[in-house]
Amino acid sequence: MNATINNAKNARQYTVFVSHASADSNTAAEFVDAIERKGLTAWIAPRDISPGREYAEEIIKGIDQSKCFVLLVSEASNLSSHVRREVERAASKSKPIYPVRIEDVPPSPKLEYFISMHQSLDALDGVLTTHAERIAAAIASDEEWVDNRVLTRRRRWRIGAGLSSVLLAVAIFVSVVFAPDMRTLFMNDRERAVAELAKRGSSLTSEDVARAMASANVVDLNLFLEAGIGVGALTDGFIQAGRSFFDRSQGNQEAIRWFKDAIAAGVDPNLTVESEHYVREGLISSAFASGNTAAILALLEAGASPHTYQDLHLSPYAIPRILFPYTYALSNDHWSEDQQAEVARGLAAAGAALVPPEEDAFSFEYHHIEQYKQLVEASERLNLSSAILPAGCAARSSTSICEKATAETSKDWCALAEKMPEYIVPGDSYDHRMTGFTIHQLLTVSQGKGYFLTTTPQGWDGGYALLEVAANEQDWSIYRYMSPGAGLGHCKPFINQEDYRPDDCWRRFSMRWEPDRSVVRLSDYYDYTALACSQDSTSDG
C-alpha cells in the first residue's frame, strides 16, 4: 500500500505541479529531479502526460491532483500562453503558488496578477539543485518564502461552510451556463482566435477575410492574423477587396496598423490586382485611387515599386502611373499640400524618377511634356533632388529598385540593367512607326518581367515609352502612346464611354534582342542596331 502511495503515477497524487516554458525544459527537469530526491512527488509535462490523452485535459488533471504549484519564472514563461493558462488554473483552484525566478526578469503583468501575494525565490545561478532542499522543506511544511532567510505561514482564505455552499452553487451555475466559453481556457492563441472567428461566422477563407477587409473590420482582421490565416488567402482577400479596404480605412490608424502587419505576414507589396482602367495594375494604384496616403506610404516603405506595374496595352490613358507616379501625388486636389509633399517624398525615397525629354524630339507628346515640367517645379519646391535623372545609362546608377527585385526573385536584375544597351537605332531598312529609342532606368519588375523607361525621340509620335523585357533577356515588347497603325489593334474605350474608341492609345511592338550580334529585330524582319552604354548613337544609323 505504501509503495502505491509513494508512486505518484499510480496514485495520481502529487506534491507539486511544475509549470515551465518549453524553452526551459532542461532547467525544469533538473529541478524536478532534485525535489524528487528529497521525497516529494512532482508532475511535469510532457513526462506525466498519459499516452493517447488530450494534452490540455492532462494539464488540468495534473494541477488539480497536485498539492501546490511551482512556477519557473523566465523571459520565455512570461511570453508563454500555456504557462499563463496553467497559472490561471492553479489560482482558480486556490493552489499555493511558489514562483521561482530562474532568470533575472520580473513576472509579466499577466502572471503577476495571479502571483502578487507570493514572494519569489531567486535561483538565478541556473543550478536549482542547491535550492531544492529549501523549496522541498517549504512545500512540505505548508510555508512560503519571503526572502532568503525568513519563512512565513502561507496566506489562505478561510471560507465558512455556509459561504462555501453558496460559492459551490455559483460554480455549478457558471459551469452550466458558460461551459462553451470555458473550453477556450486551455487553447493556445491561434486556437482561441479560430474559435472566436467561428463564433462570428467566419473561417480562414479568402472570402471571409475579404468581407472583413471590405468594411475595414479591424477586430475580425486582427483575429484572422492571430489565427494564422495563410498568405494565399490574405492575398486573395486584397485582390477581391483591396480597393474597398483602402476606401474604408481612411484615417483609421488601427486599420493601417493591421495592413502593415498583413504585409509583414507575407503579402507582396507589389501584388497586382484587377483594374477598371487597365487589365491589371499594382496594389498601390488602388491605394492612390482611394486617396489613402497612409496606405500608399506603408506600401512604399514595405518595398512597393513607386513605378507600379500597369498593363498598358491598348489603354487610352496617356499618363500611366508606371511612368508618371509623381503626377498622382502632385495633382490630387483632395489632398492638402502637406499630404502631396509627404507622398511625393515617399515616392522619391522609393526611387521614383523621370529623365528629361529628348532634345531633338520636335513632336514629343504634349501630355508627357506637361508631366515633366510639373515634376521639375515640384522637385525644386520640395527639394526632390533624386526625382530628375540624367538620361540613358546614367539613369541606371540608382540600384534600389533592381536590388529589391533581385532579392525577391531568382534573377539578378541589376546585372541585366547594367548590360542593357543604351540606344536602339534603325538601319537602312526599318519600320517607319518605330524610329528607335533610348533605354533609361529600370522602373519595376512584375510577374517575371522587367520594365524600363524609354524615350522615342523622332517622328510624330515621340514621347516617353515603356520597354518590357522577359526574364530570358531577349524577348522584348515596347509600348508607345501613338496613333493607329496596321496590325497594332484598336484602342480600348475610356471608362463610361463604351461607344467611343479613341485613336491614340498604348500600342505594342514585339522585338527580340540578339546581344551577340548587337542587334534588336522587329517583326522578324527589320534589324535595329543595339548600341552599348559606351557607344555614341550618332556614330551609327
Cell of 170: 455559483
User: Could you tell me the pLDDT band of residue 129, with boundaries at 50, 70 and 90?
Assistant: low
Query: Which residues lie below 8 Å from residue 108, measured CB to CB, with a gap of 6+?
Result: 78, 79
d(CA 370, CA 367): 5
Task: Give CA separation, 114 vs 62, 153, 168, 175, 379, in Å.
Answer: 19, 18, 21, 21, 59
Q: Tell me the CA end-to-end span of the chain in Å, nearest whole number.
A: 106
Please check the confidence at residue 149 and state whether its pLDDT lies above 90.
no
Q: What is the pLDDT of residue 174?
A: 45
The string of pLDDT tens digits covering residues 325-382 is 999 999 999 999 999 999 999 999 999 999 998 876 667 788 888 999 999 999 999 9
Question: Which of 504, 507, 505, 534 minimizes the C-alpha distance to 518?
Answer: 534
Please check the confidence at residue 57 and state whether its pLDDT lies above 60.
yes
d(CA 387, CA 307): 12
Q: What is the pLDDT of residue 22?
A: 86
Q: Contact, 316 vs 493, CB < 8 A?
A: yes
Cell of 403: 536590388
Q: What is the pLDDT of residue 105?
A: 86
- Backbone dihedral angles phi then psi of residue 100, each to the nearest 5 degrees: -125, 115
Q: Contact, 522 vs 529, CB < 8 A?
A: no
d(CA 317, CA 297): 25
Cell of 354: 523621370
Q: Which range has the top average pLDDT, 18-22, 28-32, 397-401?
A: 18-22
Q: Where does 21-80 have alpha helices with state H?
A: 25-36, 55-64, 75-79
Please state the rounded mean pLDDT for residues 208-213.
97
Q: To the nearest whole percent, how much of the chain has pLDDT over 70?
A: 82
Residues 387-422: b if buried by 16+ CB within 10 A, e if exposed: bbbebbbebbeebebbebbbeeeebebbebbeebbb
d(CA 144, CA 117): 10
Burial class (CB in 10 A: 0-12, 13-18, 19+), 457: buried
Please state the rounded mean pLDDT for residues 40-54.
85
Q: Contact, 535 vs 527, CB < 8 A?
A: no
Is the Cα torsion angle 17, 182, 49, 83 positive or negative in sign? negative
Q: What is the pLDDT of residue 254?
A: 96
Interior angle at CA 334, CA 331 and CA 338, nearest 5: 75
Q: What is the pLDDT of residue 430?
A: 86
Q: What is the pLDDT of residue 186?
A: 58
Q: What is the pLDDT of residue 377?
A: 96
The amino acid that residue 311 corresponds to is D
Please state the rounded mean pLDDT for residues 423-431.
89
Query: Which residues lie below 8 Å from residue 142, measured CB to CB, with a gap of 6+?
Result: 96, 153, 154
d(CA 320, CA 505): 11
Please check the confidence at residue 161 and state whether its pLDDT lies above 60.
no
Please check the confidence at residue 125 and state whether its pLDDT lies above 90.
no
Query: Which residues lie below 8 Å from residue 140, measured CB to CB, with a gap of 6+?
Result: 15, 40
Count the Cβ atoms, other than its own, within 10 Å of residue 160.
8
The string of pLDDT tens digits covering residues 469-512 is 999 999 999 999 988 988 899 999 998 888 888 999 999 999 99
Residue by residue, what is the 3-state secondary structure of 291-304? CCHHHHHHHHHCCC
Q: Contact, 330 vs 340, CB < 8 A?
A: yes
DSSP string, 479-538: EEEE---TTS-PPPPPTT-TT---S-EEEEEEEEEETTTTEEEETTTEEEEEE-TTS-TT
pTM of the model: 0.66
Question: Which of 380, 356, 382, 359 minimizes the C-alpha distance to 368?
Answer: 356
Whether cis (ω within 30° of 0) applies to the bond prior to 109 is no
Residues 479-500: b if buried by 16+ CB within 10 A, e if exposed: bbbbeeeeebeebbeeeeeeee
Please check the confidence at residue 298 and state whether its pLDDT lies above 80.
yes
Tell me the sheet residues that pair with 153.
143
Radius of gyration of the chain (CA): 34
Helices 283-290 and 293-301: crossing angle, nearest 10°? Answer: 160
d(CA 363, CA 295): 38
Q: What is the pLDDT of residue 84?
A: 87
The string of pLDDT tens digits covering residues 436-455 is 899 999 999 999 999 999 99
The amino acid that residue 286 corresponds to is S
**What average pLDDT does the chain have?**
84
Q: Contact, 40 vs 16, CB < 8 A?
A: yes
